[in-house]
Amino acid sequence: MSLDWQEGSSGRRVAIDGVLVIPDDAMVIVPIRNVVLFPGMILPLTISREQSVLAAQQAVKTERAVGILLQRNIEVEVPGPDDLGLVGTVANILRYVTLPDNTHVIVCQGLQRFRIVEYLQGYPFLVARIGRIDEPEMTDSQIEARIIQLRERALEVLQFLPQASQELQNAVKSIGQAGALADLVASVSELKVADRQRVLECVDLQRRLDVVLDCLLGRLEVLRLSRELDERTKANIDQRQREYLLREQLKSIQKELGEGDGGNSIEMETLRKAIAEAEMPEEVVKQANKELRRLERMSDGSGEYSMVRAYLDWLVELPWKEPEPDHIEIAEARRILDADHFGLEQIKKRIVEFLAVRKLNPSGHGPILCFVGPPGVGKTSLGQSIARALGRKFVRASLGGVHDEAEIRGHRRTYIGALPGNIIQAIRKAGSRGCVMMLDEIDKLGAGIQGDPSSALLEVLDPEQNNSFRDNYLALPYDLSRMLFITTANVLDNIPGPLRDRMEIIQLPGYTQEEKLEIARRYLVGRQLIQNGLREEQIEFTEPSLLAIIRDYTREAGVRSLEREIGAVCRRAAVNIAEGTIHALRVEASDLAAILGPGKYDNEVALRTGLAGVATGLAWTPVGGDILFIEASRTAGDGKLILTGQLGDVMKESAQAALTLVKTRAANLGIDAASFEKTNVHVHVPAGAIPKDGPSAGVAMFIALASLFVDRPVRNDTAMTGEVSLRGLVLPVGGIKDKVLAAMRAGIQRVLLPARNRRDLEEVPLQAKERLEFIFLENVDDAVRHAMRQ
């Protein structure tokens, strides 16, 4: 064979006997516009440039693979090395087809990535030395997580692509190799060419997955917007066509009837008349007319039409007129309060004073009353009585659990379904700008990410500011100054300071046994007769039976449980009367066990305080006062103090202080000081499931410990409260009124109080003062002298 060597411009030999010779480490390069071929993919590629056709024919002739490279600048007709990417795909040409229009199509199968090392000169097409890039096969938890995320996102994208077949979706679900999955998804998801080339150039698996995920996220947003836009455009066109046809038909019908466009005109004229008659302020009238003009220009089928119409309805239906002056008769107000409530003399006195000031100064800004007390003592019904005495309408807004500022100020009209706040809604319901509004459970307000409703109430409850209250929905000032606000709460501690500062606090104590008896006679029995369908002659409660219900079946500050028990007796009577077994029932105390079951409460004071080391304390709770037993016991040990009963930090410190005080007064009490070092002391406060805290059990703890060590029991008719100091002083505490009433309910006869709490007895009801003996303590020696048996 004769050899005919030819040299290229670079001096390299490129042909033998006229046949092109390509080195083993080099490859024919075919530049392609707007297409990126990935390994594992099969794509038909159209080529028309002479250089590319020669390159493809050379590869087919020599049965060698070709390198498919993306042409960066599609404007260049004859691309050079600077116009091509650095990373491409090694591909086999499966088929070469020449079409009748002289277009050449090659069907290529991608094999693996390669990187350009250098281009070779002297060939009629592009030839380059390349470095093949092996596919990494590493895997870890990070890659596995990305594979799962990529598969889910890819399937979501394919749902938007009409040409995506079920076989393609199955392929995405079945491929488990990270690199193959990323290449497949990038190839079929219609990504931008630049994004596909970026994926092809990523060799690291984790980075390649991240790039594909990022590209898919952007592609998904575009596909969603495109579909939404297509659907909206189609719907709008259909709706417009339908509206046009309907309007034309309506015009035709109205023309035949001679009505013109009267229906809409009548509606607008009605609104215009209502605006004129509402006596709105000038600013509100201007806004209402502006919205009315907008409404006239709108189609009644548009979404905004209903929003504007609802807003105008609110403006028209709100009471803007000046309220009628109050007709206050002090004697009638007293009669109403006495008829509606038994007892509460101090409360009634303050309400009468409040009404008298309103009568003499109707335009004055009176205080905001806040009724504070346990549940069931009549806070809400007091507000209703005030409204009756004033001759005003009464509305109630419950604030319990409200944690959104919009509940007070309303929502802005930009939101669909927006409404004014509870204040404006209640005023519309009352139909008067001068109603009595009760804001119930103001201590149960919450706060969250939607704002703090207690802060929104600052403007509502401030007489200097609420004459121009702005609800977010109305976006107009509304005068609340003529309204009478009354609030209720169980606990003052939960009310923020600035809000509490705007209100006058009126404490409502619990009821005594005698007051509960009168309330049951006057109100509860009659109300339960009506609710259970009974007549007065069909059931009769004797006084001993009511007292037995109060004493043995209820223990509360209010009367709700008492009413429930009376209702249970009435229901039993209703059953017997309905069955015809009896015609009337007289309820005696001896009948209650058969109707209500055995008594729920016993006089446990005598049972618990019969032993040394047990004392009766008094506690305050949000639902009224209660008695508290302090039990102390000792065992052989090394001087430890054990505290149980779910005690808080303050109460634990009180127990430690009480024990120290007993040790310092051991000589006066006749206690051997050495016994403390050989004894473990255990202090327990029963009802262990209930958290307890506070310093007011200090005296009771001291007496219980002293009784334990001197082995003398505490009197079982005595209860005590007060904080102790290490000097032996008895310091004042709070909640005296509720504690005294709790002692009376529990059958206590003697109450030991700090001497500096003597002034608090003025608030204690007269019945309690008459039934209880009060002993005032300056120091713990007084407590020992009066509490322990001699």
First-to-last CA distance in the chain? 140
Q: How many residues does the chain have?
A: 790
**559 and 342 in contact (C-beta within 8 Å)?**
no
> In Å, how far are 33, 66, 292, 563 from 313, measured between CA atoms?
64, 76, 11, 43
Q: Look-up: residue for tokens 């575009």?
A: 222
Write the DSSP assignment of 592-608 as a string of letters.
HHHHH-S-S---HHHHH
Query: For residue 538, what are its two tokens?
Result: 């069909």
Closest CA to 180 of 267, 112, 265, 261: 112
CB contact set of 282 (below 8 Å; sequence gap of 6+): none
3-state secondary structure of 253: helix
The rounded distance, in Å, linking the Cα atoms of 209 and 622 is 60
Residues known to be catalytic: 696, 739
The pLDDT of residue 7 = 42
The pLDDT of residue 163 = 72
The rounded distance, in Å, linking the Cα atoms of 571 and 449 is 47
**760 and 747 in contact (C-beta within 8 Å)?**
no
Judged against a pLDDT cut of 70, whether residue 233 lies above it is answered with no
> In Å, how far are 538, 719, 720, 754, 780 from 724, measured between CA atoms?
56, 16, 12, 10, 8
Task: State percent of the chain over pLDDT 70.
Answer: 89
11 is in an annotated binding site: no
User: What is the mean pLDDT of the segment spanning 542-558?
Assistant: 84
770-779 long-range contacts, CB within 8 A, separation 24+: 771/744, 772/740, 772/743, 772/744, 772/748, 773/749, 774/750, 775/750, 775/751, 776/752, 777/699, 777/720, 777/722, 777/730, 777/752, 777/753, 778/729, 778/730, 779/728, 779/729, 779/730
Q: Report the mean per-residue pLDDT for the chain.
A: 82
* Confidence tier at 790 by pLDDT (50, 70, 90): low
What letter does residue 689 receive in the DSSP assignment? T
Q: Is 698 exposed, middle or buried (0-12, 13-18, 19+ CB in 10 A)?
A: buried
Write the DSSP assignment of 507-559 as a string of letters.
E-PPPPHHHHHHHIIIIIHHHHHHHTT--GGGEEE-HHHHHHIIIII---SSS
The rounded distance, in Å, linking the Cα atoms of 23 and 29 is 13
3-state secondary structure 118-187: EEECCCCCCEEEEEEECCCCCCCHHHHHHHHHHHHHHHHHHHHCCCCCHHHHHHHHHCCCHHHHHHHHHH
303 is in an annotated binding site: no
The pLDDT of residue 237 = 58
The rounded distance, in Å, linking the Cα atoms of 758 and 369 is 27
pLDDT tens-digit readout, 444-474: 887 767 677 878 788 788 877 777 888 888 8
**96 and 121 in contact (C-beta within 8 Å)?**
no
Phi, psi (rounded to 5 degrees) for 43: -135, 140
Residue 578: how many other CB atoms lie within 10 Å: 9
**456 and 412 in contact (C-beta within 8 Å)?**
no
pLDDT tens-digit readout, 33-59: 888 889 988 889 888 888 888 888 888
375 is in an annotated binding site: yes
**707 and 610 in contact (C-beta within 8 Å)?**
no
Q: Is 513 exposed, middle or buried (0-12, 13-18, 19+ CB in 10 A)?
A: middle
Task: State percent of the chain over pLDDT 90.
Answer: 7
The rounded distance, in Å, linking the Cα atoms of 467 and 480 is 5
> In Å, how far are 240, 632, 651, 677, 681 from 637, measured between CA atoms?
93, 15, 23, 8, 9
Write the DSSP assignment of 690-759 as a string of letters.
S-B--STTHHHHHHHHHHHHHT-PBPTTEEE--EE-TTSBEE--S-HHHHHHHHHHTT--EEEEEGGGGG
pLDDT tens-digit readout, 84-133: 888 999 999 899 888 887 888 999 999 989 999 898 888 888 899 988 98
pLDDT tens-digit readout, 2-25: 333 344 434 344 555 456 778 888
Report field, pTM of the whole predicted structure over 0.85: no
Judged against a pLDDT cut of 80, whether residue 542 lies above it is answered with yes
85 is in an annotated binding site: no
The pLDDT of residue 253 = 67
* Whole-number CA gyration radius for the chain: 45
The rounded distance, in Å, linking the Cα atoms of 348 and 346 is 5
3-state secondary structure of 8: coil
Query: For residue 356, what are its two tokens?
Result: 């008298």
379 is in an annotated binding site: yes
Closest CA to 558 of 511, 508, 513, 622: 511
The rounded distance, in Å, linking the Cα atoms of 55 and 142 is 42
Query: For residue 181, what are its two tokens?
Result: 């999955």
376 is in an annotated binding site: yes
User: What is the mean pLDDT of the segment spanning 615-641?
Assistant: 84
pLDDT tens-digit readout, 165-220: 777 777 777 887 888 888 888 888 778 888 888 888 888 888 888 888 888 877 77
The rounded distance, in Å, linking the Cα atoms of 426 and 480 is 12
